Amino acid sequence: MALVHLERLQHNVRLLKAKLAAGVQMMATVKADGYGHGALEVSKAALSAGADRLGVATVEEAVALRQSGITAPVLVYGALPEQAAIAVLDYDIAVTVTGINDIRILADAAKRQRHSVRVHVKLDTGMGRLGIRSADEMLTVLSHISAYPLIELEGIFTHLSSADEMHHADGRVYSEMQRRRFIEWVHVAKRAGYHVPIAHIANSAALLWGPEYHFDMVRPGIAMYGFHPAPAWNQDVDLQPVLELRTSITRIARMQAGEAVSYGRTYVTEKEEVIATVPVGYGDGIPRALTNRGYVEVNGAIAPIVGTICMDQLMINVTGFDAKVGDQVVIYSQLIESKASIQSHADLLDTIPYELLCRITSRVPRQHIL
């Protein structure tokens, strides 16, 4: 069971919102099913706490929110598939454009549907992933947008590649280069006579770094879910992890020295040990790489994962614990300092909390608590 504490998410949203100057909007990023927390519930909670808009990765994610009753403005960050243009119009979804072909697709759909569409022009200022790569190319795209009255330019934006490394000189220099390039290109657009209602650049890290990155809107993601994007700096921010993953013990076995646990016999008891089985595994999103490395909490104490993690089950060493079948096991703890926290496991695996959150599969029930 994944317990999603929406009051913690609202706390985080309010904390982040308080760092913004008056008039700066917040677009809550709820892609990938709200980073595994449940996009609909997260969207409602974020909007009620002060978020102005929502950001998703795909048209399908945006349509799902609309079909569930979300009426707030939604922007699709990713590329526009041609077959999705009609849905964009039908559901009043703002989309990212990265070239004149996107404009042609939208113009054709808008003409057929007799409906306007809002667009945000994506600039590649140094991410090297998606977007327009020069000011001249940007002006060409903007000229095509202005030629179609049913296409409304709502924003221009870019994405920072190294904002979570700004506590290092090279990350700070690179982010500043991207910021200055973005400012320059937006000024080029304005000097050419184009109105840019919303300029935006800041992810969670840039939002926390400082107001020079806030512009007209910020797009927090991981910070909203309670994790600092760069744990090495700015630890005084009171972000609260929103999700915890719990299960319970299904078997207790007292094993003798020399007995093997799980596939491949990767763990062999050195003495008499008490091994507990719990019903979660990599089929639920627990990385198999935590085999003989990860930790869980049992009755407030830390227990190591032992033996190869299976698809549906894993084993833990509860020798010396007062543990029994049915006792609660916390797989991912909300306590940041715990060895069983998502951050601790991410550090152990040389990855980021985003990945572990998004890996939690749909067969894990979510209980949303507000």
Assigned domain for 283 exists? yes
Task: Give yes or no: residues 202 and 309 share one domain.
Answer: no
Question: In a 10 Å sphere around its CB, with 0-12 CB exposed, 13-18 middle and 19+ buried, how is residue 286 labelled?
Answer: buried
Strand partners, 53: 27
CA angle, residues 113, 33, 314, in degrees to nearest 5: 155
Predicted pLDDT at 235: 65
- Domain holding 269: CATH number? 2.40.37.10
Task: Give yes or no: residues 221 and 249 share one domain.
Answer: no
Q: Is the pLDDT of residue 232 over 90?
A: no
Task: Give yes or no: residues 292 and 175 share one domain.
Answer: no
Considering all CA atoms of the chain, what is the largest pairwise distance in Å, rounded to the nearest integer?
79
Task: Give yes or no: residues 180 and 318 share one domain.
Answer: no
How far, rounded to the nearest angstrom, does the alpha carbon of residue 271 sit from its chain's CA centroid? 43
Task: Give yes or no: residues 198 and 62 share one domain.
Answer: yes
Task: Give yes or no: residues 266 and 201 share one domain.
Answer: no
Q: Are 12 and 240 in contact (CB under 8 A)?
A: yes
Task: Give yes or no: residues 272 and 212 share one domain.
Answer: no
| Percent composition of the chain: helix, strand, coil (DSSP 3-state, to 5) | 35, 25, 40
Nearest residue to 247 via CA among 312, 321, 317: 312
* Distance set, CA 259 to CA 1, 221, 275, 276, 365 (Å): 31, 45, 11, 14, 34
**Active site positions, annotated:** 31, 263
- Domain holding 51: CATH number? 3.20.20.10
pLDDT class for 335, splitting at 50, 70, 90?
confident
Q: Is the pLDDT of residue 234 over 90?
A: no
Handedness of CA 284, 290, 291, 295 (dihedral sign): negative
Q: Are 328 and 300 in contact (CB under 8 A)?
A: no
Q: Is the pLDDT of residue 236 over 90?
A: no
Q: Looking at residues 94-119, what average pLDDT do you find? A: 95
| pLDDT tens, position by position, 298-319 | 998 999 999 999 999 999 999 9
Of 173, 198, 225, which marks where a domain is finished?
225
Assigned domain for 235 exists? no
Assigned domain for 238 exists? no
Task: Give yes or no: residues 150 and 188 share one domain.
Answer: yes
Residues in the chain: 370
Task: Give yes or no: residues 154 and 265 share one domain.
Answer: no
Assigned domain for 248 exists? yes
Q: Looking at residues 159-167, what average pLDDT do you find? A: 93
Q: How many distinct structural domains can be found in the chain?
A: 2
The secondary structure of 8-36 as a DSSP string is: HHHHHHHHHHTTSPTT-EEEEE-HHHHHT
pLDDT class for 221, splitting at 50, 70, 90?
very high
Q: Where are the beta strands (DSSP E) in 108-266?
A: 117-123, 151-158, 198-202, 217-218, 243-248, 251-255, 260-261
Assigned domain for 233 exists? no
| pLDDT tens, position by position, 254-300 | 999 999 999 999 999 999 999 999 999 999 999 999 999 999 999 98
Of 193, 225, 257, which marks where a domain is finished?
225
Assigned domain for 206 exists? yes
Predicted pLDDT at 249: 98
List the domain range (segments joined by +) for residue 73.
2-225
pTM, to two decimals: 0.94
Give me the percent of the chain exceeding a pLDDT of 90: 94
Q: State the chain's mean pLDDT as an integer.
A: 96
Task: Give yes or no: residues 257 and 216 share one domain.
Answer: no
Q: Are 311 and 333 in contact (CB under 8 A)?
A: no
